[in-house]
């Protein structure tokens, strides 16, 4: 069984929605690290300086509003803590996702990276924002160094365009106008290998969504986290995912029994409690964490 990790693919997993209020001046994800090829080197350099200045401005904003437990207390912000083991531990002890997100941003910039996807940034932060994560600064720095070359990169090199994401990392592609004649609708295909293959030929998330929901119901579960559901669906909605029904069955069971962020509950029962690192941040932190719990 392949273990799922909250990637900073980690639909975050859980896995749903739009950026909100914590960083009101924040640029859209698509603008955070795109540098058109037509720009001259001097223009590119100026753009990066401007973006760095913008980040500095964001870091200088009042931050106690994000974590109620810190209001009225004296603490060193993740925007100011030293980028070393002591600084990481000081920030982790604040038990504040918002503050650790500042620390992670600064570490990424120290390594020469720029943020390309805020949702994935916050999915990553979930695994480092508390001392009970049992993480270290060295682990953080190492993981950040490998993000830009991963299957779902959310960091890009400063001064360069954001790296392309793999086919299962972004939004679902549109369904084809005409389905292949040897395909079947997800609402009626048999829940077996042949049925899965017939639905996958349609390469349509809506068709596979119906098939996957039926499989979840067959196993006696219901969806507690739609983000986790969509994160898994990404890896099964088309035949070019090279998946099979047996693996889907296994992953559905994993999402209800063993996943770091359980996103399924037993029919007739309650949803399982959220683990500490599952997407759940202090308001008004951005809430776009939809691809976290089922990403590889």
Mean pLDDT of 245-267: 94
Query: Which of 95, 140, 137 is closest to 121 using CA atoms?
Result: 140
Query: Which of 31, 71, 24 is CA-nearest to residue 48?
Result: 31
Distance CA 95, CA 267 (A): 34
Quote the domain boundaries for residue 22: 11-157
pLDDT tens, position by position, 40-73: 444 444 444 444 444 444 444 434 456 888 888 8
Domain count, the chain: 1
The answer to the question of residue 190 being in a domain is no
Please state the length of the chain: 296
Which residue carries 């499989």 as its tokens?
Answer: 215
> Over the stretch 207-220, which tens digit does the pLDDT of each residue have?
999 999 999 999 99
Residue 73 located in a structural domain: yes
**Quick one: tokens of 86?**
């002591």
Half-sphere exposure at residue 185, Cβ-oriented, CA atoms within 13 angstroms:
2
Is residue 226 situated within a structural domain? no
Asked if residue 63 is part of any domain, the answer here is yes
36: in domain: yes
As a whole number, mean pLDDT of residues 126-142 equals: 91
| Average pLDDT for the chain | 77
208 in a domain, yes or no? Answer: no
- Most confident stretch, 17-26, 177-186, 283-292: 177-186
Any domain includes 93: yes
User: Is 212:236 a contact under the CB 8 Å cutoff?
Assistant: yes
- Report d(CA 73, CA 87) in Å as an integer: 18
pLDDT in tens, 86-108: 999 999 999 998 999 999 999 99
Residue 175 maps to a domain: no
Integer Cα distance of 149 and 164 in angstroms:
10
> Tens of pLDDT along 199-254?
999 999 999 999 999 999 999 999 998 888 988 999 999 998 899 999 999 999 99
Q: Running DSSP on this structure, what letter comes out for residue 81?
A: S
Residues 154 and 124 sit within 8 Å (Cβ to Cβ): yes
| Of the candidates 288, 294, 292, 295, the residue with the CA atom closest to the CA atom of residue 30 | 288
């Amino acid at each position: 069984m392949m273990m799922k990790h909250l990637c900073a693919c980690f639909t975050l997993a859980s896995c749903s929605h739009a950026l909100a209020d914590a960083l009101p001046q924040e640029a859209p994800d698509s603008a955070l690290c795109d540098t058109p090829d037509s720009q001259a080197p001097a223009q590119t350099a100026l753009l990066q300086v401007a973006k760095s200045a913008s980040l500095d401005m964001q870091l200088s904003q009042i931050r106690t509003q994000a974590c109620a437990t810190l209001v009225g207390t004296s603490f060193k912000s993740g925007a100011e803590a030293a980028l070393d083991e002591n600084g990481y531990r000081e920030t982790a002890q604040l038990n504040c996702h918002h503050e650790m997100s500042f620390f992670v941003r600064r570490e990424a910039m120290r390594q020469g990276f720029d943020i390309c996807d805020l949702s994935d940034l916050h999915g990553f932060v979930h695994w480092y924002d508390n001392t009970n994560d049992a993480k270290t600064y060295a682990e953080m720095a190492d993981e950040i160094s490998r993000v830009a070359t991963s299957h779902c990169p959310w960091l890009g090199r400063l001064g360069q365009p954001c790296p392309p994401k793999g086919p299962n990392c972004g939004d679902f592609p549109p369904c084809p106008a005409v389905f292949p004649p040897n395909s079947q609708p997800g609402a009626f295909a048999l829940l077996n290998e042949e049925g899965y293959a017939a639905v996958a030929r349609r390469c349509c998330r809506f068709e596979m969504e119906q098939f996957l929901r039926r499989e979840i119901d067959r196993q006696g579960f219901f969806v507690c986290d739609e983000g986790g559901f969509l994160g898994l669906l990404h890896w099964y909605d088309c035949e070019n995912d090279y998946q099979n029904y047996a693996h889907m069955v296994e992953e559905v069971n994993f999402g209800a029994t063993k996943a770091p962020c359980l996103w399924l509950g037993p029919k007739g029962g309650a949803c399982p409690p959220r683990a500490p690192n599952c997407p759940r941040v202090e308001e008004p932190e951005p809430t776009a964490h939809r691809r976290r719990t089922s990403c590889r």
